[in-house]
Amino acid sequence: MEIIFYITIFLIGLLTGSFCTLAIHRLPLHENITHKRSYCPNCKHKLSFWDMFPVVSYVLLGGKCRYCKHRIAPKYIIIELLTGIVFVLFAISICNMLKSIENIVYLILGLLYITGLIIISGIDKEKGLVNEGVLLYELLVISAYIIYLYILGNVNIYRYVIYLFIMLALLINDTLYLKRKLKNNYALQIVLLSIIMACFVGSINFIITALIAILAIVIRNIVYKFTKQKSKKAPIAYFLCISNIIVLIIANIFYWVV
Ligand SMILES: [Zn+2]
């Protein structure tokens, strides 16, 4: 029974990963992510139903577009596979507790939260910016999470409510006032992302997340210096998201096991 459960989670992860690659590609271009049919980025040919199966279509077509034979970048299949693996690891990290309804709710909220992080990290890695729409989506996930904690009743939610008000104030300030002067307010978006993470994984786990991300950025910059590559600005949100997903899964394992 458990195997079937994890295979289902993996397949949901693959489909979600497929959606993430689409969102990462389209959101910075301000394209519709739900209504417009997928197309080949090279020849713009609309993809058929059979071209859109995660991983399977890629392998069957030999990593090429069916219509123009243009090579499809392997990053798409890598994001799909990684999303599937991360989904399964997250489910495993809370596996002992899946018998109760409240933990199934936590599983769903966690997967929704991780999906947002994957999209944020992908866009930051490619374009060096944080998409505000995805931040807003994470804000909704966090709000649902706070309601979940409130219903559980054994957690003091007042500090979360304060967090939520700070985030709303920052977001409103960002969209209404700062936009006129600054095109892309990266620093403020990193602050927002940090508060969102602190809400979902807790303050201590967020501090560990930030330390790992800072270490990774320092190592990246040293590598760039030594290899004398032209260094672009480090994608801070990308490093934060990846280290946060790892910390979340490891923290869950320790929390449930101990
Ligand atoms: Zn094509």
* Pairwise CA distance, residues 49 & 237, whole Å: 34
Per-chain residues with Cβ under 5 A from ion ligand 1: 40, 42-43, 65, 67-68, 70
Separation of CA 64 and ligand 1 centre (Å): 8
* Pairwise CA distance, residues 10 & 6, whole Å: 6
Nearest to 145 by CA among 190, 196, 191: 196
| C-beta of residue 50 within 8 angstroms of C-beta of residue 57 | yes
Q: Is the dihedral of CA 221, 178, 200, 32 positive or negative?
A: negative
Instruction: Give residue 178's pLDDT.
Output: 60
* Pairwise CA distance, residues 118 & 108, whole Å: 16
Separation of CA 37 and ligand 1 centre (Å): 14
Separation of CA 47 and ligand 1 centre (Å): 9
Per-residue pLDDT tens, the chain, 258 aa: give them. Answer: 788 989 999 999 999 998 999 899 888 888 887 777 777 878 888 877 777 777 788 888 888 888 888 888 888 889 999 999 999 999 998 876 556 778 889 999 999 999 999 999 999 999 888 988 899 899 999 999 988 888 887 677 777 888 888 888 877 777 766 656 555 688 888 988 999 999 999 889 999 999 999 999 999 988 888 887 776 788 999 999 999 999 999 998 887 655
SS3 label, residue 224:
helix
**Tokens 């599937």 label which residue?**
84
Instruction: Give residue 97's pLDDT.
Output: 57
Separation of CA 32 and ligand 1 centre (Å): 20
Instruction: Give residue 17's pLDDT.
Output: 94
Separation of CA 238 and ligand 1 centre (Å): 29
| C-beta of residue 67 within 8 angstroms of C-beta of residue 4 | no
Paired strand residues for 71: 64
Strand segments (E) across 148-219? none
Instruction: Give residue 220's pLDDT.
Output: 92
Alpha helices in 27-74 (DSSP H): 56-60
Instruction: Give residue 256's pLDDT.
Output: 62
Separation of CA 43 and ligand 1 centre (Å): 4
